[in-house]
Amino acid sequence: MSSIPLTGKAAIIGSGKTALELADKLSGSGIEVLLLTKNGPQNSPLLKDYSDQKKKGIEILTDRTVTGCSGETGDYRLTLCSKGKKTVREVGLIIILEEEKREPKLPLYGLDPSKNIIPLSKMNKKIGKDKSGNVFFITGLLDEGNPADLREALLSSIFILENTKKNKESAAFILTSNLKVAALGLESLKTKALGAGVQIFKFNKTMPRIKQRSHSSVTINFIDDITDSEHEYNADLLVIDEQVYPDPYMDDLIKIFGLKRNGAGFPTRENISRLSYRTNRRGVLAAGALESAEIKALALESITSLNPASVSGETNDRPCIDPKLCARCLTCFRLCPHQAIELNNKLNIGLDNKLKNELNIANSQNPVISPNACEGCGICLSACPAGAIRADLPLIQNKTDSVSDSVSDRPKTEGSDTHPFLTVFCCRRSAVRAGRKALGEGQYLPRNLKVVEVPCAGSIGEEDIFKAFCEQADGVLILTCHEGNCHSDQGNILAIRRMARVEKSLEQSGFSEKRLAAASLASNMGAGFARILNRFEKTIAGLEPKLDQRLDDRNEQRPD
């Protein structure tokens, strides 16, 4: 684009309609596109006019599988394999658009494959025109359906009734448990279908019985939910919905790129911080089949990813691994949620030869933090058993001796007898924001509160918690994002695990494990923040013993 600086190529993995439309959009924006597909040119009819694409700045490589990936956003090196031969291509951005696999839900309905049972995606106008008799569409009957499937069923059933051959009687039925009309125009389409004579049955009380008598005969028995009348039909054609799941190649890609999956096995998680189409790895986007409007949104995300300012991220200070201390246990490599730690001997270039010889690291694989991939969560820092990771990030630096200015403006307490000293570790994304909201709303908060801001709860180490107790805290509270909402995917879970270990130590030392607790919240929970803190203060105030031996020290230090 003339006015928007972009660097690097975009690699699209896939060859379906969505992949090609996106390639078009990106090349139209001046981005060079590399389209990689494991299919041969003959399997992808849309790739036929290859020469046309070439002119537009889209390079199409067929029969290519991605077998490896190194580097970081803006600077990826993809290893491609074609008929045994390997090549490496450099790209700035990777977009995974591998097609989903679809299987008709035959097992769910207890059916065997048969000539007159077809999956919904195979339903087409020709079949609709030729078929006569009873056509049954089953969508979202025994499990949840979706608007796209319902649209297909409605359009097909309307078509069947409007186009049946003369002298042949047709009837169209849709069987479902909930009509999924939550998409543009579907409610009107449903009304149109009913007007055309499509019979729609919704089931809640009882489920239809679908029986296969012989190889081509299917009967359907059901009781109408509303009228309680019994119906029996012979289905001349049964159109059933499909299960969608990732192709095995997708599984490979997920492993190669180090991506996290959602519940259905796809690489875009439903994590809110991954809107739209982002994955846990910067510079890698993923999506399934998309509508044109959504493809534009994906194109925008692609442009954003290729923008140099976006490549280098928000801050320039990144944690780095001291090779002199690094034991190469690879804990950081395993824990990094963003695949920002590379095993590299290339990046030892900065070390002088004397040091390399001394440490015998010239040819070994050392973990190195990729500056543009790192998101500064600090998980590696607290996980490193050798303390080899340092950061100049202010939040991590001051973790155990910061006092948040924003919480010093507290409303006066009312009627509480004791005000135990509380140290609260607050995740910057959720807890700190909720705390600010609580203050803005004038919520009542505990009086003796020390807030320690951390980039992610996963950066809180056991030593940080112990240090908090050593520095006057009667109670230590860890506030994290809700499970499933952590920007670092599992930072909250790591924090809870570490907390559990410290709890054990506390117990063994004769302190109540109730002095250490954790809670999750979201950034918009101002009232929630106050509620959690006040409840914790109450709990701590009610605990015995009151750490008498340190009372004298504390009296000296406590501000009046």
- Binding positions for another protein, 225-244, rule CB under 8 A: 225-226, 228, 244
Among 7, 30, 162, 403, binds another protein (CB under 8 A): 30
Among 153, 477, 523, 537, binds another protein (CB under 8 A): 523
Pick 80 or 494: Cβ nearer another protein: 494
CA-CA distance, 3 to 6, in Å (whole number)? 9
Q: Which stretch binds another protein (CB under 8 A): 404-412, 464-472, 521-529, 552-560?
A: 521-529
Question: Bridge partners of 13?
Answer: 36, 96
Residues 482-501 contacting another protein, CB under 8 A: 482-485
DSSP H helices, 141-265, are 147-163, 186-196, 248-257
Q: If you search the block for the tokens 């910061």, which residue do you land on? A: 402
Query: What's the CA angle centered on 155, arms 149 and 157, to 5 degrees?
Result: 100
Q: Judge contact between 219 and 213, C-beta under 8 A.
A: yes
Shortest gap between Cβ of 114 and another protein (angstroms)? 25
First to last CA, the chain: 62
Among 41, 57, 133, 197, binds another protein (CB under 8 A): 57
CA-CA distance, 184 to 188, in Å (whole number)? 9
CA-CA distance, 438 to 390, in Å (whole number)? 33
Shortest gap between Cβ of 148 and another protein (angstroms)? 6
- DSSP state, residue 316: S
Query: What's the CA angle centered on 58, arms 54 and 59, to 5 degrees?
Result: 75
CA-wise closest residue to 381 among 457, 314, 313, 480: 457
Binding of another protein by 525 (CB under 8 A)? yes
Among 9, 105, 131, 180, binds another protein (CB under 8 A): 180
Q: Which stretch binds another protein (CB under 8 A): 31-39, 181-189, 357-365, 411-419?
A: 181-189
Shortest gap between Cβ of 237 and another protein (angstroms)? 25
In sequence order, which residues have a C-beta less than 8 Å from that of residue 398 and are 6 or more positions away?
Answer: 452
Q: Judge contact between 60 and 50, C-beta under 8 A.
A: yes
The binding track of 86-115 with respect to another protein, each residue x by CB under 8 A or -, is ------------------------------
Pick 300 or 386: Cβ nearer another protein: 300
Binding of another protein by 59 (CB under 8 A)? no
CA-CA distance, 452 to 461, in Å (whole number)? 13
- Rounded to the nearest 10°, the torsion over CA 100, 104, 108, 114 is -160
Binding of another protein by 188 (CB under 8 A)? yes
Binding of another protein by 535 (CB under 8 A)? no
Binding of another protein by 481 (CB under 8 A)? yes
E-strand ranges in 21-83 read 33-36, 58-61, 65-72, 75-82
Residues 420-439 contacting another protein, CB under 8 A: 429-430, 433, 437
CA-CA distance, 97 to 24, in Å (whole number)? 14
Pick 483 or 507: Cβ nearer another protein: 483
User: How many CB atoms within 10 Å of residue 82?
Assistant: 14
For 283: left if phi > 0, alpha if psi spans -120 to 50, otherwise beta; the answer is left
Among 21, 98, 242, 301, binds another protein (CB under 8 A): 301
Shortest gap between Cβ of 69 and another protein (angstroms)? 25
Shortest gap between Cβ of 457 and another protein (angstroms)? 14
Pick 173 or 266: Cβ nearer another protein: 266
Binding of another protein by 309 (CB under 8 A)? yes
Among 161, 297, 329, 347, binds another protein (CB under 8 A): 297
Shortest gap between Cβ of 293 and another protein (angstroms)? 5
Cα–Cα distances in angstroms (integers) from residue 184 to residues 150, 180, 188, 190, 289, in the given order: 12, 11, 9, 12, 17
Binding of another protein by 275 (CB under 8 A)? yes
Binding of another protein by 187 (CB under 8 A)? yes
Number of residues in contact with another protein under rule CB under 8 A: 75
Residues 127-146 contacting another protein, CB under 8 A: 143-144, 146
Binding of another protein by 183 (CB under 8 A)? yes
Binding of another protein by 181 (CB under 8 A)? yes
User: At what angle are helices 17-28 and 292-306 packed, to 10 degrees?
Assistant: 50
Shortest gap between Cβ of 30 and another protein (angstroms)? 7
Pick 26 or 451: Cβ nearer another protein: 26
DSSP string, 536-556: HHHHHHT-S---GGGHHHHHH
Pick 410 or 535: Cβ nearer another protein: 535
CA-wise closest residue to 290 among 47, 99, 60, 9: 99
Among 88, 207, 264, 330, binds another protein (CB under 8 A): 264
Among 18, 370, 400, 520, binds another protein (CB under 8 A): 520
Backbone φ and ψ of 182, nearest 5°: -80, 60
Pick 184 or 551: Cβ nearer another protein: 184
Shortest gap between Cβ of 188 and another protein (angstroms)? 5
Q: What radius of gyration do the chain's Cα atoms show?
A: 30
Binding of another protein by 195 (CB under 8 A)? no
For 84: left if phi > 0, alpha if psi spans -120 to 50, otherwise beta; the answer is left
Sort strands 320-321 and 237-240 into parallel, antiparallel or unpaired: unpaired
Q: Which stretch binds another protein (CB under 8 A): 51-59, 127-135, 155-163, 548-556?
A: 51-59
Q: Which stretch binds another protein (CB under 8 A): 42-50, 183-191, 366-374, 504-512?
A: 183-191
Residues 378-417 contacting another protein, CB under 8 A: none
Residues 451-480 contacting another protein, CB under 8 A: none
Q: Judge contact between 174 and 120, C-beta under 8 A.
A: no
Binding of another protein by 271 (CB under 8 A)? yes
